[in-house]
Chain A
Amino acid sequence: MSYTMIIGLEVHVQLTTESKMFTSCGTDFGLPPNTQTDPVSLGMPGTLPVMNGRAFELALKTAVALGADIAGFTKWDRKNYYYPDLPKNYQISQYDLPFSTGGRLEIPPQKDGSGGGRCALTRVHLEEDTGKLTHGAGGFSEVDLNRAGIPLMEIVSEPEIRTPQDAKACLEELRLTLRYLGVSDCEMQEGSLRCDANVNIHIDVDGKKVATPIVEIKNLNSFRSVERAIQYEAERQFDQWKKDGKTIKDAPKQTRGWSDPEGVTKVQREKETAADYRYFPEPDLVPVVVDDAWIARVKASIGELPSERRRRFSSEYGLSDYDANVLVEQGQDVADYYDAVAKATGAYKLASNWVQQDILRIVKERKVPIGECPVGPAALADLINRVGRSELNTNQGREVLGKMIETGEPAEAIIEAGGYRMVSDKGAIAAAVEAALAANPKAIEDLKGGKKKPEAVKGFLRGQVMKQTGGKADPALVGELLDAKLAELAG
């Protein structure tokens, strides 16, 4: 029996604003508990919320970038429930008139070329984050309201994702897009990006589709756990169905928490047994009217998105989908870096190789953003151009780059000081070829006797010539002269 996974994601993203959603209170992460609060975020009697215009603007930017339909009129609603994560005992959210509906995210294919495609979105809305509860020993729980009231954007996907890998890729692409937009830092560890997954499976039973009860998986704290938890949950649902035969009609939606160390999902206790949130329009806030001019203004502020950039890297620079993706998925700063090097050299593929193999390796080793790499895009482009002009061969280039990174000096200075200039003098190289052949008579015999493949012997001899010239010889010239000499000997 086979089954199909039906996966939908519900993503919560804290927006990067200086103040909270409905008050001027600050939003810094990592402060001592309950110090990032004020009367409004503590829900003190008589206080009132006032919308953070910047937060709305960032959410709007996101929705426009995701191609969502922006509502001309949107309002706020109260979601009522008794739980100390919000001292008002209600959350200001958006219920029936969110500021945006629809939209989509393009998911790049997996490395092996499978998966990918489009993930349709249901809606994007804005709300206030809740405080954090820590359930400690002795039955006591601790409440930290620093997070309460931080602007929180909820992005809900349609249940159109079919594999755990695509779910992970979708979330990664979302994070990348949000970072490109500059609306959130999307740190899963700090909780500024959180993801719940709704999962069930459609089992093929004699050509008929049987759907299992839907499970919402919470506590997904990393991209890997999103993938693992969904995989586990689908298998668990299949096993469960084989045991009890229960379908979507027999059981309500269940909430389960992912335990990363154990690699299992477990039933979670709900905030409230019956989830009747008694939504009604928030009377303390006024509705927001978004006109076309506002949307146009927001649209103009959106730069190139990751999906657009991948396409351009392929079409404009002729990069493979794989290379384009590697450069884009590292983040906007890396793609910008590459863009600058590509434009300054015109050697797109070469630039891609240098950035991927050399620059990215260095910044990863040093764990610094590419902006802090001692070799900027202009300096790298200069080096690549020198290799292109045959001032240096590739190996020399690598060495020079290593010194540039060490010292922060430009290529010019290092080449001068280190005597790196490539030897293109025909006489000198011809002499080196002679010397190499004289020193290795066995190689020539091998070639004549057909004992070894000619290419292998030639490769060996090229290496010997380079050695003779201290690695500085123009490799093209070496090849040319060596071939001529060998042809002469064979003749």
Chain B
Amino acid sequence: MTDPTRSTAVGLLARMNAGAISAEEVTRIYLDRIDRLEGQIKAFLHRDADASLAKARDVDARRKAGKPVGALAGVPIALKDVLCTKGEPTTCASRMLQNFRPPYNATVIEKLIAADAIPVGKTNMDEFAMGSSTENSAFGPTRNPWDTDRIPGGSSGGSAAAVAADFAPISLGSDTGGSIRQPAALCGIVGLKPTYGRVSRYGLIAFASSLDQIGPFSHDLADTALLLKIISGKDPLDATSVDEPVPDYPASLDTPPDTLRIGLVREFFGEGLDPEVEAAIREAIRVYEAAGATVKEVSLPHSKYGAPAYYLVAPAECSSNLARYDGTIYGHRAEDFSPASPEEKDLPPLIRMMMASRAEGFGPEVKRRIMLGTFALSAGYADQYYNQALKVRRLIRNDFDAAFKDVDVLIGPTTPTAAFKLGEKTADPLAMYLSDIYTITTNLAGIPGLSIPCGLTKSGLPIGLQLLAPAFAEDKLLRTARVFEKATDWHTKRPVLV
């Protein structure tokens, strides 16, 4: 029998439903692999193997008894540690929440439980999802399974690496400016950021509320479609979730879209794009043309303002979202908050406690963004920064609306380069920010974005192809991507770990 860890969720379900293998066996094989190789990757922050196995046995018992089981019955899944799991650690890779155990599950977790999926662990990430390399984790970086000297991308680096390393066939991440698509591209897997409002954010610890969205990682689109169908839908606990019908994504996946009009975003092929990445994208375009697609160049003229706008909106929201971590009720509380300077002497002890707790609890990138956001919202500055950014955001949305009048999907590179080395960009936040240059406008516009594997560099590093579609057109997005996946075998490539 082939190694189950080389399979997919759909493949595993078929074998489990046929009785060829039990959920417990599947889980055990994955857990063994994690035990063997996790030291090289460090994808996880917390695991509870006994709980995973107990769940698997429960699924087996029900399956054997002919009782109904969920759509992911017995399938291992890794979960980004930004998702609240009841009674279990949920740290956001921050010292601030090192001891936080929420008394509730995120809505997506409830849905996964109902689908009988087997959580195998909470994955590493950039602290509070702020970063592009998972190096901002307070608990050490995750490594790219394709080259362990390199970063897996971020902020959902642990979830991407876990799937790439076959620690679980599928995982969940969150994407605020590219945090699913960028690590998916750098780890050679599929990653989808759904339309804003498609998936409930309840229980997703907020970074930037108007941009955050939960989405799936997997090896292929069939698994993406399956997982998306399970986690999507209106949630009464999230006012921003949208009451749009959830199509049967897996059922329609293999039906090619009626029209295949593809737009190439001119602005995504400029300076900074690595030639090897560009070559892979150009090759992907040829694959589409061979499949009968019409390809035309389109422009998103305000893309160049995407990064500046994003780095005002996201920090502004984060400065407010993270205000609750002050040591009073939530988060790390400093033991010593005696005045750190003569100026602090006059401050009330409560304020000093908050200051010391936040100084100790947050890492440098989180602090940088909180300060940036606080400044952008301050009286006298809000108009020229935050409010200006909101206007740009509208222009970016208009750009996409205009582009989608003529084409069905937009394609381009997910990232300007393949995975970079650990430590390469940590000293230069701006260079780090630019690794999300092609992904952040998607979040500002709220539309869905997908990254699929489309090549390897000469040195064997994955390259991602990004596809974008109008809001709530995930169905079309997946079917268009499937045309490429059918014609190529990049999605079958897996790193070799020993």
Residue numbers of A with Cβ under 8 A of B are 39, 42-51, 78, 80, 82, 84, 87-90, 139, 141, 276, 278-280, 283-286
Tell me, rounded to whole Å, the shortest Cβ–Cβ distance linking A64 to chain B: 24
B47-80 with Cβ < 8 A to chain A: none
Residue numbers of B with Cβ under 8 A of A are 83-84, 90, 92, 97, 100, 102-104, 106, 201-206, 208-210, 236-240, 316-317, 319-320, 323-326, 328-330, 349-351, 354, 374, 377-379, 382, 386
B238 proximity list for chain A (CB < 8 A): 48, 50
B202 proximity list for chain A (CB < 8 A): 46-48
Tell me, rounded to whole Å, the shortest Cβ–Cβ distance linking A205 to chain B: 34
B324 proximity list for chain A (CB < 8 A): 43, 45, 87-89
Known: A39-B102, A45-B206, A88-B323. 18 other contacts (CB 8 A): A43-B324, A44-B330, A45-B90, A45-B330, A50-B238, A50-B239, A78-B320, A82-B323, A82-B351, A82-B354, A87-B328, A89-B320, A89-B326, A141-B350, A276-B378, A283-B240, A284-B206, A284-B209
A276 proximity list for chain B (CB < 8 A): 378-379
Q: Across the interface, do A278 and B329 meet the contact criterion of CB distance under 8 Å?
A: no
A48 proximity list for chain B (CB < 8 A): 201-202, 237-240
Q: Across the interface, do A82 and B204 meet the contact criterion of CB distance under 8 Å?
A: no
Q: Across the interface, do B320 and A46 meet the contact criterion of CB distance under 8 Å?
A: no
Bound Cα distance from A228 to B330, whole angstroms: 42
27 contacts between A and B (CB under 8 A): A43-B324, A44-B102, A44-B330, A45-B90, A45-B97, A45-B102, A45-B206, A45-B325, A45-B330, A46-B90, A46-B203, A48-B240, A49-B239, A51-B239, A78-B320, A82-B351, A84-B328, A87-B329, A88-B323, A89-B326, A141-B350, A276-B378, A278-B378, A280-B377, A283-B208, A284-B209, A284-B239
A49 proximity list for chain B (CB < 8 A): 239
Bound Cα distance from A39 to B203, whole angstroms: 10
Bound Cα distance from A89 to B325, whole angstroms: 9
Chain A at the B interface: SS class: loop
Q: Across the interface, do B374 and A278 meet the contact criterion of CB distance under 8 Å?
A: yes
Q: Across the interface, do B377 and A84 meet the contact criterion of CB distance under 8 Å?
A: no
A39 proximity list for chain B (CB < 8 A): 102-104
Select one of B104, B349, B386 contacting A280, CB under 8 A: B386
A87-B239 in contact given A46-B106, A80-B323, A280-B316 (Cβ < 8 Å): no
B316 proximity list for chain A (CB < 8 A): 280
Q: Across the interface, do A84 and B103 meet the contact criterion of CB distance under 8 Å?
A: no
Tell me, rounded to whole Å, the shortest Cβ–Cβ distance linking B445 to chain A: 15
Pairs A-B, 5 closest by C-beta atoms = A89-B323, A283-B210, A283-B209, A278-B377, A46-B84
Tell me, rounded to whole Å, the shortest Cβ–Cβ distance linking B72 to chain A: 22
Bound Cα distance from A110 to B208, whole angstroms: 54
Among residues of A, the one whose C-beta sits closest to the C-beta of B92 is A45
Tell me, rounded to whole Å, the shortest Cβ–Cβ distance linking B96 to chain A: 10
Bound Cα distance from A51 to B236, whole angstroms: 10
A279 proximity list for chain B (CB < 8 A): 377
A141 proximity list for chain B (CB < 8 A): 350
